[in-house]
């Protein structure tokens, strides 16, 4: 079972428009946790930014960790909304032992495109970026990391590693298989966690939708090329009778 934030009174009780209030608190908390970190952002700060009184946070979330987990859940839900279909499609391709290399590559690239598109279609992308940079650096509660792993990473990593295994000829349990899968899927990370450096290097004043689309297309193109290279090397090693 996945971890969930402990939620209380959402639409009943003394607070009116409960869902809207709760959502406003989460939006404010994502921004403040991103800016100040889990330790630096107080519940009082979050309540003030959300335009509610401090007891409202306890009413909806019990404590600060509850607010944090609700932030992770909100982000996970949006990510999985974009990722579920391509991951399921890739699983279906993998289920076919006779699936061609091209089918495997395109299934992987659909996942890659979804990963690259998440920031482009996400409101408050800068707030998400800062929040996730801290979370992935281990600067938030362990429960948040585990929630992200359970809801998104485990299934996505399994399918991308399985595709790399089939294309490379490496065993699925070989650490190099997962390293290669992570290296390919993570190639666009610089554009999400270092936008200031990217803009400075390219002389851009912003990363607008057109530039985001170009970044997405480029990361997918790179993924396709790398995966094709793995298949070529696998075949060359097979013909030469060399062990992988």
In a domain, 53, yes or no: no
Q: Is residue 36 in a domain?
A: no
What's the half-sphere exposure (Cβ side, CA atoms, 13 Å) at 231? 15
Q: Give pLDDT tens digits along the chain (244 positions).
A: 444 454 454 444 444 467 888 999 999 999 999 999 999 999 999 999 999 998 888 889 989 999 999 999 999 998 999 999 999 999 999 999 999 999 999 999 999 999 888 765 565 677 888 888 888 888 889 999 999 999 999 999 999 999 999 999 999 999 999 999 999 999 888 887 788 898 999 999 988 888 888 989 999 999 999 999 999 999 998 766 554 4
- The residues, ordered by sequence, that sit 6+ positions from 47 with a Cβ below 8 Å of its Cβ are 25, 53, 54, 56, 57
In a domain, 15, yes or no: no
The pLDDT of residue 190 is 81
d(CA 118, CA 115): 6
pLDDT at 7: 47
User: Domain span at residue 195?
Assistant: 75-239
Number of domains in the chain: 1
How many Å apart are CA 161 and CA 188, to the nearest integer?
A: 17
Residue 24: inside a domain, yes or no? no
Read off the pTM.
0.84
In a domain, 34, yes or no: no
**Does any domain span residue 92?**
yes
- Here the CATH number for the domain that contains residue 189 is 1.10.357.10
Query: Does some domain include residue 42?
Result: no
Q: CA separation (Å) from 110 to 55, 58, 87, 140, 170?
A: 44, 41, 8, 30, 22
pLDDT value of position 11: 42
């Amino acid at each position: 079972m996945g971890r969930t934030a402990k939620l209380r009174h959402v639409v009943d009780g003394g607070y009116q428009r409960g869902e809207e209030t709760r959502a406003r608190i989460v939006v404010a908390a994502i921004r403040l946790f991103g800016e100040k970190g889990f330790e630096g952002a107080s519940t009082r700060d979050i309540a003030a930014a959300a335009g509610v009184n401090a007891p409202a946070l306890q009413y909806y979330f019990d404590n600060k960790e509850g607010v944090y987990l609700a932030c992770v859940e909100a982000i996970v839900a949006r990510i999985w909304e974009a990722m579920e279909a391509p991951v399921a499609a890739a699983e279906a391709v993998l289920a076919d032992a006779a699936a061609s290399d091209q089918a495997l590559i395109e299934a992987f690239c659909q996942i890659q495109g979804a990963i690259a598109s998440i920031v482009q279609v996400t409101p408050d992308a800068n707030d998400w970026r800062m929040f996730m940079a801290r979370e992935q650096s281990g600067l938030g509660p362990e429960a948040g990391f585990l929630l992200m792993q359970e809801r998104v990473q485990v299934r996505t990593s399994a399918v991308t590693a399985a595709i790399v295994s089939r294309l490379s000829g490496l065993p699925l349990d070989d650490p190099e298989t997962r390293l290669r899968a992570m290296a390919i899927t993570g190639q666009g990370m610089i554009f999400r966690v270092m936008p200031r450096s990217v803009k400075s290097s390219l002389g851009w004043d912003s990363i607008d939708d057109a530039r985001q689309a170009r970044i997405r297309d480029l990361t997918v193109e790179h993924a396709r090329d790398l995966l094709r290279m793995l298949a070529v090397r696998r075949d060359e090693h097979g013909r030469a009778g060399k062990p992988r």
